[in-house]
Chain A
């Protein structure tokens, strides 16, 4: 078990070092998310629509789109110079590759989201600090769900001819339940409702996360097989 964890950590650490050296992924994701929010602000008239009603949807669309950029890079980066082959050949269980990638994707996306939240607060004039803890829980559940399925499908789409195009086409329909859930929950939290009123949504997103982690463990061997 200990070896398993250290193997995962080695992959995560490798991703962090690459990112600190190049700094290309994080800045791209952040700027892209900001642009998505701006485009949506221009497309809805905030003097007519209430910001707290459209805000959650816009926020999550921005997370989703910029997260897809990160997922696309995650395995494509490994294709260069045959790094993925090296990882597969390494004497480790292949689920470690999945978990390593899952953790690094999750950390990058969460960090980006934490930078976006203050800007969201300013642009939409919504006070997030009041409901920060429940909001962070929702962001955790949603981002985890996005990354579990996203990492699995990104490992798959990186081998296709048109990988950047295929990943969103494969991923977005499958993410619909979680998107509806997190947007609903974020909206209710911003409206000041307590978490206990949305236990069904929390259960749905949490079980989504757990089931897809399980499915990924079972199927990743068949994807990373050359």
Chain B
């Protein structure tokens, strides 16, 4: 309506992504619940892995995007990068929360406890806290340029902290299952091929989901900017 040029085209592009993501998620469901065999020792609960691992992948990927966009923002000072960083941080926190929820559900029957202070659990929790603080910082500071600069600094500082968190908690203690997909014997030797295929499909579906959500969030933020702009124009200019 506001922009008759290319709005139609953009919608169609968005629609293809929606369809692709929908189909991928549906296929993921089918393969998780029908195709893939039940794990021998852990039983049916192990199927939660096909959500848990992709959620973790998606949130780490989202935080990496925040880091890159923060650097690009401080370099170019372009509002576009700030929008991307904000959108990605929000999505990352949502999926990091999902990791922290699905983790204990899986851990309870297997380890016999909801929560153990294992290395990867602890570092995910700290990561979640860092990016919740990032979102709080954005909510706390009002003026546009200041908020963007501060958030970008925290986006960089926070991501650079990840290796430190990783090693410090690793030396602190660890219980997590050793990496199964990429082992010393090569990629994918530690797992049944059907499980590996399902996991791959899940990762693919969640990556599509990330881009879909990202597109929506960016569109929202841009509309918000436009509304602010119109408001300022109509209230203060006359």
Interface residues of A (CB under 8 A from B): 149, 152-153, 156, 159-162, 166, 169-170, 172-174, 176-178, 180-181, 184, 200-201, 204, 207-208, 211-212, 215, 219, 222-223, 225
Contacts and interface: CB of A to CB of B under 8 A. Distances in A.
Contact of B136 (A166, A204, A207): A166
A170 to B, nearest CB: 5
Contacts of A173: 126, 129-130, 133
Contact of A222 (B130, B133, B136, B153): B153
B157 interface: yes
B17 interface: no
A169 B136 CA distance: 9
B167 A170 contact: no
Contact of A169 (B126, B133, B149, B158): B133
B215 to A, nearest CB: 28
Top 6 A-B pairs, shortest CB-CB distance:
A177-B168, A177-B164, A173-B129, A180-B168, A173-B130, A219-B153
Contacts of B137: 160, 166, 170
Contact of B153 (A160, A181, A223): A223
B183 interface: no
A76 B236 CA distance: 33
B196 interface: no
B125 to A, nearest CB: 9
Given A159-B146, A166-B136, A204-B167, A177 B161 contact: yes
Contacts of B168: 176-178, 180-181, 204
B141 A160 contact: yes
B235 interface: no
A204 B156 contact: no
Given A162-B140, A173-B129, A156 B153 contact: yes
8 contacts: A160-B140, A161-B140, A162-B140, A173-B130, A177-B164, A177-B168, A180-B169, A200-B167
Contacts of B154: 153, 156, 170
Contacts of A169: 133, 136
Given A174-B161, A177-B168, A201-B171, A215 B149 contact: no
Chain B's interface size range is 20 to 34
Interface string B163-205: 0110111011000000000000000000000000000000000
Contact of A177 (B74, B129, B141, B165): B165
Most chain A CB inside 10 Å of its own CB: which residue of B133, B167, B168: B168
A174 B157 contact: yes
A41 B74 CA distance: 46
A177 B167 contact: yes
B169 A152 contact: no
A225 B160 contact: no
Given A162-B140, A173-B133, A223-B150, A149 B157 contact: yes
B164 A204 contact: yes
B238 to A, nearest CB: 30
A152 B74 contact: no
Contacts of A174: 130, 157-158, 161
Nearest to A156: B150
Contacts of B167: 177, 200, 204
Nearest to B162: A177
B209 interface: no
B87 interface: no
B160 A211 contact: yes
B10 to A, nearest CB: 32
A166 B140 contact: yes
B78 to A, nearest CB: 14
Contacts of A207: 164
B152 interface: yes
B156 A219 contact: yes
